[in-house]
Structure 1
Amino acid sequence: MIVKIGFEYEEDTVYLRCPAKVGRNIRKLQREFFSWLYDRKNDHPYWVPFGVNQDGTEEFGLSYNEDAFIYWLNNVRFKRGKKVAFIIKKPKYLPKKTISF
């Protein structure tokens, strides 16, 4: 299945190829991804330090793109060694679903 990924602040459009089982649940998976991404207990490379607060504790923000979602699908959510999601340049078929970041 082809899924179109749009970005609010960018003009680029990315297309994701995945099995139909994954594509049918792509919005639910996106919500699960955000829960994982924003959970400070998860040590992933998308945390970016941006300063120190008044208590002297380092503060972090997030910096990610479609690669983070693909990483999460392939290595966290479906981690059986087989990749389930790939970025493709130009789809041969129209996307069945669209998600936005």
Structure 2
Amino acid sequence: MIIKIDFGEDFIQYISCSTKVGRKMNCIQKDFLDWIFDEEKNTKYWALENGERIHPNYDANAIIEWLNNVRFKKGIAKAKLITTPQLIAKKNLYY
């Protein structure tokens, strides 16, 4: 399934994932946001100012990492970034 992720200000990325995972994306979006804002669990996707974390700074790669390594780490079907989708997105998410 192709998912269009709109980060605002004309910044749009696409990911591909299994249909089973794609159908759950709206329901698990809050879980991703909880993870991305948790300074103890997520250290990679924070913007730094004077050596201190100030806020999360993420794109579709963070969502893919979370899907593949946190939420569905035991699953076989992995999410991946698509630069130019060949199919129409079946779902739109807004961050």
- Using structure 2 for the length normalisation, give the TM-score: 0.83
| Equivalent residue letter for 1:38 | F
| Equivalent residue letter for 1:23 | G
User: Deviations 1:1-55 (Å, cap 9, x if unpaired)?
Assistant: 111111212x232111110111101112221100111122214211233258xxx
Whether 1:30 and 2:24 are equivalent positions in the alignment is: no
Structure 1 residue runs of 4 or more that deviate by more than 6 Å after TM superposition: none
The number of aligned residues is 95
Aligned equivalents of 1:14 and 1:48: distance in 2?
A: 20
Alignment gaps of 5+ in structure 2: none
Percent identity, aligned pairs only, is 37
Alignment gaps of 5+ in structure 1: 53-57
Aligned equivalents of 1:68 and 1:22: distance in 2?
A: 16
Corresponding residue number in structure 2 for 1:55: none
**Preserved CA contact (<8 Å) 2:16 2:80:** yes
Give the superposition deviation at 1:78: 1.2
Q: Which has the larger radius of gyration?
A: 1
CA RMSD of aligned residues (A): 2.0
Q: 1:43 to 1:26 in 2, by over 3 A?
A: closer
Corresponding residue number in structure 1 for 2:78: 84
**Preserved CA contact (<8 Å) 1:51 1:60:** no
Corresponding residue number in structure 1 for 2:5: 5
Whether 1:62 and 2:56 are equivalent positions in the alignment is: yes
Give the superposition deviation at 1:98: 0.2
